[in-house]
Chains A and B, each alone.
Chain A
């Protein structure tokens, strides 16, 4: 089982590496959206500091959603998804491999980039650290929830908009607690509660989302 997961992970990372442009696109989108805000709103430091958590989190969420279309659709088109459904390993395990690859390729770069962008908003060091931690817990959550949405809308026309409609309501709590944790640090109330709740969501999604995605994929392939 671990071997099959490893091969799916390796395959998806290799594909992402060979198609670097797609990966860079989402990251560039993140950087541009976040960087435009200080230019548009003006250079007043206190105002920027207040809106920084929200802006960074919303941009990360949208960047993550941009890449959801590439999670299952290409494999569906060339028939490799069919072969995964017929693999001798549980589909849940293979889906987990794909989600991990998706996070490594489109979630982790956002986490690494965020503190740098946070500097543009004059965030203090402790808030930057919390921002990183909240994204580190939150972006895998975005990938897991997104996988369910991507699997449900597989092969549907106009699936881009549909994914957004399906997935955004589930992204809202992640956004609230993610951005809230950074805001709470800045306000001096401490971020533990927010981060613990995010961690709880992540644990729940780790258990449920791969099963839901696998079931949705089986339905989509019928």
Chain B
């Protein structure tokens, strides 16, 4: 469903990777691995359409993602390494704004249920600036619990700053999403167990090595 052909990414003078192709179908997990600075985040941003690849293209259901940007955006959830929370808004308000931007209903009951999945329902009325790093990450991840119907999840280091309980909860959520024919792309440095029918792996270090040899 998501298909990449011969992607190449150049940041400044440096070529991060090139000739990167993959196909991601329903129920599949794609792990992007690589050392720091190997271009994992750039690849994920290219997949979201935030960054233009210097060569190659991405197709969603057979059509270039640039052609129907809003339509494609409605089919994906992106969680970057920034939490995308406003410090002065409460956890609930942050989640409501995120849901509204994603075109989802914003009733408080649904929001609280999502926060509860990540054990931060008691923080719903607190401004996120007073929450701990881990709690803020949990509030951000609650967006996933809101979006089971959105097929493509693109997650940049989703497990960072989480404690054991939250890691287990997230693993469970990802497995459930994959089992219901969702797609997940993620980068992580932690050893996490996500059950998937099919798993692919892109190792950007290998791509870089090929580039250096060429």
Contacts and interface: CB of A to CB of B under 8 A. Distances in A.
Nearest to B154: A86
A137 to B, nearest CB: 31
Contacts of A78: 82-87
A221 B50 contact: yes
Interface string A3-16: 11001100100110
A157 interface: no
Do most interface residues of chain B lie in helix, strand or loop, or is the interface mixed? loop
Contact of A11 (B49, B84, B97, B103): B97
A19 B129 CA distance: 13
Interface string B67-110: 00011011010101011111111000100111011110010000
Interface residues of B, number: 30
A88 B103 contact: yes
Contacts, number: 77
Contacts of B88: 14-15, 18-19
B101 A7 contact: yes
Q: Which of B71, B74, B98, B101 has the most CB of A within 10 A?
A: B101
Contacts of A85: 50
Given A19-B88, A222-B50, A222-B51, A79 B102 contact: no
B174 interface: no
B87 A86 contact: no
A89 B83 contact: no
Nearest to A74: B86
A14 B93 contact: yes
Contacts of B49: 86
Interface residues of A, number: 24
Interface in A178-222: 221-222
Nearest to B49: A86
A4 B70 CA distance: 13
Given A87-B73, A88-B70, A222-B51, A7 B80 contact: no
Contacts of A8: 97, 101
A78 B82 CA distance: 6
A87 B101 CA distance: 5
A126 interface: no
Nearest to B101: A87
Interface in A1-43: 3-4, 7-8, 11, 14-15, 18-19
A86 B76 contact: yes
Contacts of B51: 221-222
A221 B80 CA distance: 13
B50 A79 contact: no
Contacts of A221: 50-51
Given A14-B93, A222-B52, A88 B74 contact: yes
B48 interface: yes
Contacts of A80: 84-86
Interface string A104-137: 0000000000000000000000000000000000
14 contacts: A3-B100, A4-B100, A4-B101, A7-B106, A14-B93, A15-B88, A78-B87, A82-B82, A83-B84, A86-B78, A87-B102, A89-B70, A94-B101, A221-B50
